[in-house]
Amino acid sequence: MKSLDELKKIREASLDKIDLRNKKDGMRIVVGMATCGISAGARDVLMALLEEIKSRNLRDVTVTQTGCIGICRLEPIFEVYSPGGEKVTYVNMTPEKAKKVISQHIVNNKVISEYTIGAVEE
Amino acid sequence: MNIYRSHVLICGGTGCVSSKSDKLQEKFENLLVNKDLDKEIKVVRTGCFGLCEAGPIIIVYPEGSFYSQVKIEDVEEIIDEHLVKGRIVKRLLFKDSIEDDIIKSVEEVEFYKKQKRIALKNCGVIDPEDVDEYIAYDGYMALGKVLTEMTPEEVIETIKDSGLRGRGGGGFSTGLKWGFTAKAQGDQKYVLCNADEGDPGAFMDRSILEGDPHSVIESMAIAGYAIGSNQGYVYIRAEYPIAVDRLQIAIDQAREKGLLGKNIFGTDFEFDMEIRLGAGAFVCGEETALIASIEGERGMPRNKPPYPANKGLWQKPTLINNVETYANIPQIILHGADWFKSMGTEKSSGTKVFALGGKINNTGLIEVPMGTTLREVIYEVGGGIPNGKKFKAVQTGGPSGGCITAKELDTPIDFDSLTAIGSMMGSGGMIIMDEDDCMVDIARYFLDFTVEESCGKCPPCRIGTKRMLEILEKITSGNGEPEDLNRLERLSENIKSSSLCGLGQSASNPVLSTLKHFRDEYEAHVNEKRCPSGLCKDLLSYYIIAEKCKGCTLCIKACPSDAITGERKEVHEIHQDKCIKCGACLDKCPFKAIITK
């Protein structure tokens, strides 16, 4: 170890290793991962979310899973909870759409209305 | 690098390993590979989570789900349900983490709520065998700060200001100790870590070394810088194999990263350390005996002064601190003395780790701010006494301490208030006793331990404690005389004032304190030949209640000494002269017809 900066670099690089275990106060994304979701491709959506979060270095976002949300025909589904508790439900997700949700909703706080359950059901 | 969506933390502390957590880990890893999930889900073996009672423990992140007493056959269900489908397996959750069907994450569980974890900060959070995880949680930042921004004097001043006192039991100001050793003249100085944890029931040092070994390494290097030493030794008992292994791995990793060795952080400072294994003698926790043992001599204490600060290892100035004390240092350096002082009481700042054992629901390891009351520790963090029994006393300070009764439950725990009520902090072992425990027998147990562990160098301890044990055995076997209680007290005082080291000086504390608080129990044993808790076997007699006995002969068959006679369907009888008081009949009787008196 040659300097404090070197240690800080190692720390930055190691944060990814443990980030998942930290308590977070930001947005929470809950992906439906029951049989219906998985068969519709929820695993790929989940992994796309994680990749996008990592590449953008968003430390305050939690991604978890849940069981069947109840509208199996619209799977893959995920729900975005803001810290205040409001919920937005995105349906018929694909990895590409998921990445878009991250960039617009999570980063810029702009809901993509056309992907939400309200828009699709109309 | 893989992107993981879940981390499965499996406790790899000694407690959980003994309930097969290592097998769980293997099963998880194998199944995840089979199910092609090993690139998404990471299994991490950590140190102790503290709730040993509920082991083996598994925590799944990001949810923070707290699974307890997980069995090997549960692993597949956790994977299929929780990790694949996101459905938390409720039946395996720790009982307090689910309330009215609402699942709480690990930090919301009552057991952790009152706790403040500083020394145990990383235990159960990081993989102790991965230095990067330690660094991710600010590891070695304190060492870096000290070496690049602070003078040795400033370091010592900070530790002094923080009010940190020795966590091994002595309670001496750590900053003063560092100051003395820094001032001492010598061409070579040493930094020692006392990991010879010996109090029955105490295991915090083991857990820290198992769960966060780098914190001790970092701290010893800081101490080396502060006092002017380039060599450290950790004296640890060989009966802590997991701790020894992980510490060695950690030392190797620290060397590899250049955190031990020459020119650390590009400065002139060099420091290295080695492990010295002890054979598990209690007396080697005494600093001069520990030093003798490292030198290759028989582990026996010597007179003080001179103190190790002036003449320690190989007659050189030596700093010696306990594991838990060291574990606090990096945090104090990073957050400052005022932060540390903001916790705890005026004269005992910071937190203290306690090992809860005996008759308590949440057996395990906790860390609370100094000044927390015994009641909070036992009833809130510890979850109270099992089976609805009544609390009787808590023994603190191990074989050197004393017991504290229900009257004093609201005493805030710190060094001075525990001493004031006739016990002591010690290393933080807390053995909780309920109404079924016999206090005379407890005193006998601790004396038995001291006699076994007395090194034999000074006669008051070698002979005196043996005589005390004999008197206690006499009392518990029903042969006590009224004069024995005075004899015990007189012996206690003499041993206390004339023994060479702390072991002898404090050996009579358990006797004196039980005599003070529970003299009536001693008197019942001596005068009435009766053990009020019904624990002293020799004072018990087994009887059959004639009205309840159906003459089934089960007890006759169970009795190993043919002490019970009687015909089928007639009332049986126990012959006291043949009865060996094993209790086999009492366990067997389906009609509760056998009682003890």
Query: Is 70 exceeded by the pLDDT of residue B459?
Result: yes
Query: What span, in angstroms and rounded, lies between the C-alpha atoms of B533 and B541?
Result: 13
Confidence at residue A70, expressed as pLDDT on a 0 to 100 scale:
81
Confidence at residue B34, expressed as pLDDT on a 0 to 100 scale:
94
Query: Is 80 exceeded by the pLDDT of residue B273?
Result: yes
B192 in a structural domain: yes
* Contact of B199 with B427, CB cutoff 8 Å: yes
* Contact of B155 with B336, CB cutoff 8 Å: no
State the smallest CA–CA distance between residue A71 and chain B in angstroms: 16
The pLDDT tens digits of the residues spanning A52-70 come to 998 898 888 999 888 887 8
**With the C-alpha atoms ordered B42, B47, B50, B56, is the resulting torsion angle positive or negative?**
positive
Is residue B430 domain-shared with residue B458, that is, in the same domain?
Answer: no
Q: Is residue B132 less than 8 Å (CB to CB) from chain A?
A: yes
* CA angle in degrees (0–180, nearest 5) for A81-A86-A92: 55
Model confidence at B430, pLDDT cuts 50, 70, 90, reads very high
Mutate which of B11, B61, B66, B123 to disrupt the A interface (most A C-beta within 10 Å)? B61
Model confidence at A119, pLDDT cuts 50, 70, 90, reads confident
Residues of chain A neighbouring B9 (CB-CB closer than 8 A): 21
Percent of chain B predicted with pLDDT > 70:
100
Strand bridging mode B364-369 / A28-32 = unpaired
Query: What span, in angstroms and rounded, lies between the C-alpha atoms of B560 and B550?
Result: 21
Q: Do B9 and A33 touch (CB under 8 A)?
A: no
- HSE at residue A34, side-chain half, CA atoms within 13 A, is 12
- Report the CATH number at residue A111: 3.40.30.10
* Contact of B219 with B329, CB cutoff 8 Å: yes
Is residue B312 domain-shared with residue B185, that is, in the same domain?
Answer: yes
Query: What span, in angstroms and rounded, lies between the C-alpha atoms of B313 and B311?
Result: 7
Which secondary structure element, helix H or strand E, spans residue B429, and what is its range?
strand B429-434
The pLDDT tens digits of the residues spanning B252-262 come to 999 999 999 99
Percent of chain B predicted with pLDDT > 90:
86
- Report the CATH number at residue B513: 1.20.1440.230
Residue ranges in B137-257 assigned as alpha helix (H):
141-149, 152-162, 174-183, 204-211, 213-227, 241-256
Is residue B316 domain-shared with residue B464, that is, in the same domain?
Answer: no
**pTM of the entire predicted model:** 0.90
| Average pLDDT over every residue of B292-296 | 97
Average pLDDT for chain B: 94
How many residues are present in chain B?
A: 597
Query: Is 90 exceeded by the pLDDT of residue A19?
Result: no
Phi, psi of B195 (to 5 degrees): -115, 30
End-to-end alpha carbon distance in chain A: 61
Confidence at residue B8, expressed as pLDDT on a 0 to 100 scale:
96
Residues of chain B neighbouring A64 (CB-CB closer than 8 A): 62-63, 86
Is residue B94 domain-shared with residue B161, that is, in the same domain?
Answer: no
Domain boundary among the residues B305, B340, B375 is at B340
The one-letter amino acid at A55: S
Q: Do B3 and A2 touch (CB under 8 A)?
A: no
Looking at chain A, which residue has its C-alpha nearest residue B125? A21
Looking at chain B, which residue has its C-alpha nearest residue A55? B3
Residues of chain A neighbouring B218 (CB-CB closer than 8 A): none
Q: How many domains does chain A have?
A: 1
In whole angstroms, how far apart are CA B142 and each of A105, B207, B248?
39, 22, 21
Is residue B444 domain-shared with residue B424, that is, in the same domain?
Answer: no
Query: Is 80 exceeded by the pLDDT of residue A112?
Result: yes
Confidence at residue B222, expressed as pLDDT on a 0 to 100 scale:
98
Q: What is the ipTM of this complex?
A: 0.87
Is residue B418 domain-shared with residue B462, that is, in the same domain?
Answer: no
* Contact of B65 with B82, CB cutoff 8 Å: yes
Model confidence at A122, pLDDT cuts 50, 70, 90, reads low
| Average pLDDT over every residue of B110-123 | 92
Query: Is 70 exceeded by the pLDDT of residue B46?
Result: yes
Confidence at residue A118, expressed as pLDDT on a 0 to 100 scale:
86
Confidence at residue B1, expressed as pLDDT on a 0 to 100 scale:
62
Domain boundary among the residues B527, B552, B577 is at B527
In 3D space, the residue among B367, B374, B350 whose CA is nearest the CA of residue B49 turns out to be B367
Residue B327 domain boundaries: 131-340
Query: Is 90 exceeded by the pLDDT of residue A104?
Result: yes
Q: Is residue A21 less than 8 Å (CB to CB) from chain B?
A: yes
Strand bridging mode B58-61 / B6-11 = antiparallel
Q: Is residue B141 less than 8 Å (CB to CB) from chain A?
A: yes
The pLDDT tens digits of the residues spanning A69-82 come to 788 889 999 999 99
B533 in a structural domain: no
Query: What span, in angstroms and rounded, lies between the C-alpha atoms of B300 and B292?
Result: 7
State the smallest CA–CA distance between residue B587 and chain A in angstroms: 48
